[in-house]
Structure 1
C-alpha cells in the first residue's frame, strides 16, 4: 500500500525557482508590499542566497511544492533564516515546522553559532512557530526590509 499525502523536505534545484518565487510573492503581497530586496532574492537565488553555503529547502507533498525556506550565510558561523512560506492550505499542518527544523539542522551541520531572522508582528502564526523551535526576540537592528519590526535569534 502506498502512502498518500506524504510531506517531505527536499533541497533546492533551479527548476524550483518559480515555486520559490510564487510561494513567497503570495504571502508577502498578502500582507505587505514586495520590496526590491525580495525580488533580488526570489528572481536570482543563485546570486543572493546560495553562495557561501547558503541553501533553500522546499516542502513537497504529492509532487507539489507547498513551502519554502532559505538559509543565507550572513557572517562567520551565522545564518539568516529567510523566505519561509507555506501555502495557505498547508498552514497549521506541520510543513512550516518541518522546514524550520530542516533549516536549523542545516545550520548546525555548517557549524553555525547563530541563526537569526526578521519578521513582522502581523505574522503571528509564523512568530509562534519560530518561538516553538527555539528562536527568541532580540533588539531590532537596521534592515533592508521596511516591513521588519521584529528580530529573533537562536544560539546553536
Structure 2
C-alpha cells in the first residue's frame, strides 16, 4: 500500500480517531464507557507517558487508527485499532500493527499486549501472524474482551 502513510496523532485527528473506532466497535459490539474515555480524551488516557496514536492516511483521509498506551515502565497496550469499512482488507491493519510494534520497540518496551474478541477473527489472525501469542485472560474494563495476547521483545536485541 504505497499510497498510505502512517502519521502521528495531532488534535485535528481526534474526530476521525473517534469516528473510525465507534464505527467498527458498533458493528460488532457495544461501545463501552472506557472506549469513550479514550476516544474523547486521548490526551488524558492514551498520549501521556510516551503513549501514541498512529493513523493511516490515504490522500487527505484518515482510514485507520491504532493506539499504543503505556501501562507500565516497560510495557504498552495496543488498542483502538480500527479501519474504515472501505479500507478493510487492503493491508492497512498490518501496516498499523507493525507501526505500533515498531513504536513500542523504539520506546524500549519489553512487552506489548492487547485485548480482543474471538468474533474479531481477522484481527486475531493478524496479531498471531505478527508474533503475538495467546495468554490467559485477566480482568478487563471491557465486557467484550475474551482474548488476551502479548508480544515479548527480546531484551538482547538492540
Question: Taking structure 1 as the reference length, what is the TM-score of the superposition?
Answer: 0.96
Cross-structure match for 2:26: 29
- Aligned pair count reads 153
Question: Taking structure 2 as the reference length, what is the TM-score of the superposition?
Answer: 0.95
Give the one of 108, 111, 115 matched to 2:108: 111
Tell me, what secondary structure is at the counterpart of 2:49? coil
Superposed counterparts of 1:121-136, under 5 Å: 121-136=118-133
1:46 aligns with 2:51: no
* Distance in 2 between residues matched to 1:132 and 1:16, nearest whole Å: 29
Give the one of 91, 98, 123 matched to 2:95: 98
Flag structure 1 segments of 5+ consecutive residues without an equivalent: none
| Structure 1 position 93, deviation (Å) | 0.7
| Structure 1 position 92, deviation (Å) | 1.4
Give the one of 58, 62, 65 matched to 1:65: 62
Flag structure 2 segments of 5+ consecutive residues without an equivalent: 154-158
**C-alpha contact (below 8 Å) 1:5/1:61 kept by paired residues:** no
Cross-structure match for 1:11: 8
Give the one of 79, 88, 91 matched to 2:76: 79
